[in-house]
Structure 1
């Protein structure tokens, strides 16, 4: 069997007998890795380095090319590019179809020369998000509050229980890597990504992030684990003006409070919990001791900080799309090569490898890596270093020993009654009561009495009818219940509108409408706090304000009508004005002047 440093050519591999001993589960994993690596061609090794999006075909079939996201067919990925790591894009109609599709995918991989199984990953898919860039809605899975809602509950046992339930559901359909948790600190109130964080506190984020990792991975990575790719090292929260670095105008991370180190604290807890993988963010640090290039290109961060200071020897996968330009939803989407835009794709790839990363997220150009190695720009020994990590993870997860899933078990497990009930209870627990005024008769507005006349906006009238008599106008009602979405500034780019950025002020039309309602009838306002909305213009007019972090209408009404005691506490401040937000130092927590509601605020009854 040839050594990995003497990689055989593809022509020689075609006629060489395969030594199947790497499939012997009785051997130590490191030995299995070496026995497999020694038989791999450069082309097969290169395929390991790329993890990109893949879609399901109709009715659980393997997909053809996808023009919307510029994706090749599944057959091209497996047999043409020899790739074995994919991120499943989009929701599925059922667990059964997901499991059947997964088994077809593994069946295709099994027919390749060495039969290396696929490692399938996923962005979060257990909540109400629907953003093809960062999270999927729950579909057949149990539905929970957003991560920020788990932080509002603040219970490590509940978060670990969530992780364990999500692990079982992922495992049942073949998802083996979670592209989460996201443990960035939400220190810039305008940033679009904070809904997927644990909020503004480093201590809370670290404790809950570690619990999340334990729930997904267990005590150590094994056949029953889902590996966690914790992100975004070394902390993606301090975004200049709150703009997201998916886009060029958000490429800079700034530290006017000299608080870079503070953002590392949650990652220290994640390392202690054993996170298996790490994703650096897109952003480039400005005014620090680190090189001013995107973190995925940043040797001072990946090798110096992550590998050497923290002794992390797991997989490092870049965020998506650092190397090549793309087109998404018909619009050009340049590579997020911040600070190295002037480099060619080939030079960017070399810089990522020299920085110490193992895998290119959102890319599918193994031919470029092959060219780089053959030219001598990167040594084969360097390639083997990362290939070992990537193969070791497949063996640790048991993919070589049991690549297929039990479709019947997927149907029984995903979204079962117990898991859905746990998710629904968490939705209710995360709801945070911010104000609860007292009526002239001396009674608090909440909880509401069953059977009263209710006017609703943003609540399904049929659901509301289970709690009171739904009426058609505010004048007929005893109370109005209005659901709002935290404000954001629409952008011209369709894809960018999935990322809620910009102003946190409600527009005048919304404010005036709420005030007009409140002038007619006591009004309860519920706000989806995917970002910290400025509630100052309405707080003195309405009877009560509650915040949710992903909750069904029934979950909300159970809390408003006293069927469930509210437990939520704000996991971030709610600022009093945009002037305070603009003066906030993006790297410093709890830095808005005179916040309307402070971190940890939440009433009960």
Structure 2
């Protein structure tokens, strides 16, 4: 479906985006993306160029309700698209598929009202797993559901990673999502760090192989009209956070390298660049005590850091794609009644105007989560931003839009979306991967679970558990207990996103430990722990009869693994520390650095053979 479609005198079908009745070179589908960019760029006003430098988050509203403020601010879609000339939007929670498609098509129609009809690029944070944090990742909902990337790392199969990425690509395309704010290839070397679920674990070789497979599945060998442009993050590696704190928040701004492993964290990004990643996103973190080539690196956030973005990324690594900053580096805001200070770490003293100037000077092309086109225009008026520097970023941004084919047809088909998103074969593949990622750490003869048992459950849907036999409500009546827990974290809720961002101690509360120990004294316990980051499992290790971990699994997928209907083949993608004392003594940038870990990186047991029945989830 296209709008403004017409035919030139020589028979070329094209979209007359500027409404002049002429086939201009930038509208000509026969030309290369670079040729089309070269034609469009000098046609644009300063205001249009400034709009291309911003990538805002948005919620999905009523299709065509362009004059109604959206859920993420007082501005209307018309204000943003035709007023500020914004045309990159990171879409949050999605309504039903057809409603999503109708809204996106209506937004593309709105974009045709702009002077040159520049289409909108809709982007997405990860949304195929179990994590629900609107600032970082979204649970699958209507899409096929898979283990988190940490679970794909546990399976350890690059071909499966590429297959997942290809399925994600198909579902994104069907929904009109043409840019992925992932993969995340930070190395998970600090056990307390909150962002591990979307990584490929602690091993640089694994992350390098997997990011290549991911990009092949999402972008293809060469980014084209059937691809999704990926922004690999968080350059140059966000794992080594001081005390494992998250730099979304002021107390977590420091990134440290006491083990001297900066180059190790950089390695997956070298692989991403070699594989053709469309974009890269620098991290919020501020390097402390880091030197490169014998020179200290300025202690400012990576997006503000010219030595990192221009010196290292552009010049040494020869990256010429889009550098998109992480969200909210310029303006202090309040969201849902919580403060969300600008992540201008190391440059907190600068004004918003000076922050934008520094971001562009450092090497950023787009600013995430901001709408301050007025500041770009003021920098132009003052002569602090040259036309040449502005055009450099605009050219990179436009090239991706042309590569994706958005200028030729940005619209999405409702019926096709209904068939593709959450297709049965995609859901089945995701279910199997959830089960395969389950990692068996301890098994004293209780696994695989057989049928016909009397089962007591905690944290498991009794209706699903009924596939094992009879579900009882009193542990004294049970042959076995199956219990599910989630990795612990400290409750915090001062800042926006803080409550959903799991940080702090990896120790389970004493009450939880006491409950499991008491239960294990009455009945054999199979304990499963969901790891969105490591946990100290020592209190349970010699108490329960079987100990397993998962990285995002439904109850049905877990039980398929515990019964052997789908063979669990997970191996730990991160080491599990024995104690918090060992974590505190470890170096944040060094993998496998906790003393005497309870279970080392790569550990996992196979289950004994068992006859395969029908999967619980079938």
**With structure 1 as the length reference, what TM-score do the two structures score?**
0.95
Give 3-state SS (helix, strand or coil) of 1:551's partner.
coil
Q: 1:369 aligns with which of 366, 376, 387?
A: 376
Write the mapping of 1:46-445 to structure 2, written as runs, cut at 5 A: 46-58=50-62, 64-66=68-70, 69-70=72-73, 72-90=75-93, 92-289=94-291, 290-437=297-444, 444-445=445-446
Taking the aligned partners of 1:424 and 1:335, their CA distance within structure 2 comes to: 39
The aligned counterpart of 2:31 is 27
Is the contact between residue 126 and residue 142 of structure 1 (CA under 8 Å) also seen in structure 2? yes
Q: How many angstroms apart in 2 are the aligned matches of 1:66 and 1:44?
A: 22
Partner of 1:44: 48
| Aligned counterparts of 1:64 and 1:123: Cα–Cα separation in 2 | 25
SS in 1 for 2:527: strand
Judged with a 3 Å threshold, the aligned counterparts in structure 2 of structure 1 residues 390 and 130 are, in CA distance, closer, same or farther, namely: same
Contact 1:53 1:71 in 2 (8 A): no
Q: Aligned in 2, Cα 1:310/1:414: closer, same or farther, shift over 3 Å?
A: same
Instruction: Please list the CA deviations of residues 188-239 of structure 1 after superposition, one character each: whole Å capped at 9, or x if unmatched.
Output: 0000001110001111111111111111000011000101100000000000
> 4+ runs of 1 displaced by more than 6 Å?
14-19
Residues in 1 aligned to 2:408 and 2:493: alpha-carbon distance in whole angstroms: 49
Are residues 491 and 89 of structure 1, via their aligned partners in 2, closer, same or farther at CA, if it must alter by over 3 Å?
same
* Alpha-carbon spacing, 1:468–1:61, altered in 2? closer, same or farther (3 Å): farther
Task: Please report the RMSD computed on the Cα atoms of aligned residues, expressed in angstroms.
Answer: 1.5
Give the Cα separation in 1 of the matches to 2:123 and 2:252.
26
Q: Unpaired runs of 5+ in structure 1?
A: 1-13, 438-443
Instruction: Work out whether 1:513 is the aligned partner of 2:542.
Output: no
Q: C-alpha separation between the residues in 2 aligned to 1:533 and 1:118?
A: 42
The 8 Å contact of residues 62 and 101 in structure 1, kept in 2 or not, is answered as no
How far apart, CA to CA, are the structure 1 residues paired with 2:542 and 2:68? 56
Alpha-carbon distance between aligned partners in 2 of 1:25 and 1:400, rounded to the nearest angstrom: 9
Matched residue, 2:451: 450
Consecutive unaligned residues of structure 2, counting only runs of 5 or more, are 1-17, 292-296, 608-618
Q: CA–CA distance in 1 between the matches of 2:63 and 2:550?
A: 35
Task: Give the Cα separation in 2 of the matches to 1:402 and 1:176.
Answer: 12
Q: Residues 54 and 74 of structure 1 are in contact (CA less than 8 Å); yes or no, is this contact kept in structure 2?
A: no
Quick one: distance in 1 between partners of 2:19 and 2:42? 16
Q: Structure 1 38/446 Cα, relative in aligned 2: closer, same or farther at 3 Å?
A: same
CA displacement 1:398-425 (0-9 Å, x = unmatched): 0001111111111111100111111011
Superposed CA deviations along residues 521-549 of structure 1, whole A, max 9, x for unmatched, are 00011000111110001111101111000
With over 3 angstroms needed to count, the CA separation of the structure-2 counterparts of 1:354 and 1:59, relative to structure 1, is closer
Compute the displacement of 1:64 (Å). Answer: 3.2
Kindly tell me the number of residue pairs found equivalent between the two proteins: 584
Q: State the secondary structure of the residue aligned to 1:541.
A: coil
Aligned partners of 2:393 and 2:493: how far apart in 1?
A: 40
What SS class does the counterpart of residue 455 from structure 2 fall into? Answer: strand
Rounded Cα–Cα distance in structure 1 between residues aligned with 2:394 and 2:315? 20
Residues 128, 146 of structure 2: 8 Å contact kept? yes
The residue number in structure 2 matching 1:480 is 481
Q: Which position in structure 2 is the counterpart of 1:468? A: 469
Other structure's SS at 2:226 match: coil
Residues in 2 aligned to 1:218 and 1:492: alpha-carbon distance in whole angstroms:
41
